């Protein structure tokens, strides 16, 4: 007898914002990450401010996107 598969763990942390970011701003996350990376070198809050002013992104979405991108690049 086989064990039924466990349900997928819910996405936590900054990545939990990704579906909403894609839906709200109409671009895939990979494109947003490329926009963030094009501004390197810059500090976290400078990147957040850029997304907010140049792309009208909300603070929470911008912060999550920048945090995830910087963490990914730090690996």
- CB atoms < 10 A from the CB of 5, how many? 6
The answer to whether the CB of 45 falls within 8 A of the CB of 53 is: no
pLDDT at 56: 97
Q: Is the pLDDT of residue 1 over 70?
A: no
Cα of first residue to Cα of last residue in the chain, in angstroms, is 41
pLDDT in tens, 36-73: 999 999 999 999 999 999 999 999 999 999 999 999 99
Question: Which residue in 43, 48, 52 sits closest to 63, CA to CA?
Answer: 48
């Amino acid at each position: 007898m086989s064990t039924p598969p466990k349900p997928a763990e819910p996405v936590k942390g900054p990545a939990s914002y990704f579906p909403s970011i894609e839906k709200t701003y109409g671009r895939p996350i990979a494109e947003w990450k490329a926009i963030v990376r094009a501004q390197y070198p810059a500090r976290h809050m400078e990147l957040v401010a850029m997304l907010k002013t140049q792309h009208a992104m909300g603070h929470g979405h911008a912060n999550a996107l920048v945090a995830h991108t910087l963490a990914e690049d730090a690996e």
